[in-house]
Chain A
Amino acid sequence: MSGGPVGVVFRREFAAYVRSPMGYVVATVVLLLDGLLFYAQALGPAAGERLSGMVLAGFFFNASGLTAVAAVALSVRLVAEERQTGTQLLLDTSPVHDWQIVLGKFLSSLAFLTAITVATIYMPLLILVNGKVSLGHIAVGYAGLTLLGASVLAVGLFASALTRHQLVAAALGSAITGTLFLFWPVASITSPPLSGFFAALALHGRHFAGFQAGLLHLRDMFYYVGLTCFFLYAATKVMEAKRWE
């Protein structure tokens, strides 16, 4: 991370995650639930006999949901907390651009979320030891989790920029993320062209299925990157507007 304003904001925010109990609570809950779900579907008595690739895909499916929840929890504090405590005034009256603040905060939350996600690596490695999966499948799956997490973090950051109340930001972020998730089941009960429209916009389903199966499609990558950029841009615009309020 560079020494410019983005790097300065990144380091402060990342250190705030490390110093706060909230960062550890989110990490603990995610890792615990990931582990329990993995045990249930891969190692537990009800796991049955399945191909290693299917077990790995199941792991990424479960992890994607938990990653999304963790992303909302980690991102909603980013701006709302500063407004609540009054520290936003330091940033607002400093010679730093809003996009630099947004990017620094986003990257710090992405780094922390990625650290949590990477800490689950022992589970795919257990499959690798006892079964047969490709390293490429594991890498693509984690790329998918990171991209999905980045999109939800951007949504949460946008929600956080809208309000000074973290609970309101959490509700907003969850509502937007939930709606984007729901587009996939909605696509399955609607007819073309609506079904295609909803499927293309759905946060999960079509776009994550490839990553889950170890298939890297540019279309899916563009979707997540585009969604992330859109909400980061929206968050920047909200910050710009509120900076002078």
Chain B
Amino acid sequence: MVRLDGVTKYYGSKRALGPVSFEIAEGNTVGFLGLNGVGKTTLLRILACGLRPSSGTVRIDGLDVFDDAHEVRKRVGYLPETPPVYDDMTVGDYLAFAGRIKGLSRSEVARRVPEVEEQTRVREVHGIPARQLSQGYRQRVGVAQAIIHDPDLLVLDEPTHDLDPVQIVEMREMIRGLKDSHTILISSHILPEISQTCDRLLILNDGEIVASGTEAELSGKLLASRDLAITVRKETDDKPEDAERVVRATAGVSEVRREDHGDAVTFHVTGETDVRASVCRALVEAGHDVIALNRAEGELERVFVGLVSEGGA
């Protein structure tokens, strides 16, 4: 569906992207993750035929985005970070205009506008001028214009940008609803936002892809040797000391911090390898009741930060 080979983009002598190469199969939902300014928007604009790469080739459905731009544009729906909405038009008129400019006939527009308004839940603002819309509605109208011509590929640049938590959840649900009928590419700098929506993540740093895979694969790569919190029941006063000794003695454990609370004690463990199983086994064999085993909070963010700071796992 999407294939990039050695794509770069320079602004003057400054490299904004690449070289980047990857393939995305039809029907996949892929998230591009990276801090602000690492090239996400540049990459998505190239895929949406809005920016010419400095080198490399980009093919969508086998068509070159530059040589066959007109045909590619029929197959791609694009939501930029700021939805391209005309403030002086009503939502209905705007979607009809977007449909017509993307090549739909009058009868197709008459059919598609109510459909996408339902899909993106903007039916209730059909007759309202866009200037009166909240940010949440603007984003949804932006998605509606991107899918009005029923494109094979949907490119969404920061679709949850500037939304409140409720609107973010609604947007996430809406994107999930689109997964069955479109290949979707989404960018974000907030990992949990797209990890819950995407089948696969590509992590960008300094214009390059530093990691790719499912959330579980990426987490596994980085978190195998990272923090875990294991909680045991404190049955007698000497039990915590014994449990701590057992944990410290487990092979691969490099650091242990103890936290007592009520009738339980939690050990925050840092391991050189994945020590979850061995610590747990050692404690049980020593007669301790393990009542909780968690990776440390904020693990997803740590994957992201780890990848962008270490240049890949």
Contacts and interface: CB of A to CB of B under 8 A. Distances in A.
Given A19-B88, A93-B48, A95-B70, A86 B80 contact: yes
Interface in B44-58: 48-52
A191 interface: no
A91 B86 contact: no
A9 interface: yes
A243 B50 CA distance: 6
A87 B51 contact: no
Nearest to A20: B88
Contacts of A243: 50
Interface string B100-115: 1111011000000000
A94 interface: yes
B247 interface: no
B100 A8 contact: yes
A97 B80 CA distance: 20
B155 to A, nearest CB: 9
Contacts of B106: 3
B78 interface: yes
Contact of B97 (A8, A20, A88): A8
Nearest to A100: B101
Given A86-B84, A93-B78, A244 B52 contact: yes
B88 A5 contact: no
Contact of A95 (B51, B73, B89): B73
B256 interface: no
Contacts of A245: 51-52
A15 B96 CA distance: 14
Interface in B282-304: none
Interface string A7-26: 01100100110011000000
A128 B191 CA distance: 75
A95 B76 CA distance: 10
Interface residues of B, number: 30
A85 B87 contact: yes
Nearest to B70: A95
B82 A95 contact: no
B175 interface: no
Nearest to A88: B84
Given A92-B50, A93-B49, A245-B51, A86 B70 contact: no
Interface in A208-245: 243-245
B50 A93 contact: yes
A243 B70 CA distance: 12
B84 A87 contact: yes
Given A8-B100, A95-B102, A95-B103, A87 B74 contact: no
Contacts of B71: 95
A231 B83 CA distance: 31
* Most chain B CB atoms below 10 A, which of A5, A93, A97, A244: A93
List of 7 A-B pairs having minimum Cβ-Cβ separation, nearest first: A90-B84, A244-B52, A95-B73, A8-B100, A87-B84, A93-B78, A86-B82
Interface of B: 48-52, 66, 70-71, 73-74, 76, 78, 80, 82-89, 97-98, 100-103, 105-106, 145
26 contacts: A3-B100, A8-B101, A12-B89, A16-B86, A16-B88, A19-B88, A85-B86, A85-B87, A86-B83, A87-B84, A87-B86, A90-B84, A90-B98, A91-B101, A92-B49, A93-B48, A93-B73, A94-B73, A94-B101, A94-B102, A95-B70, A95-B74, A243-B50, A244-B50, A244-B52, A245-B52
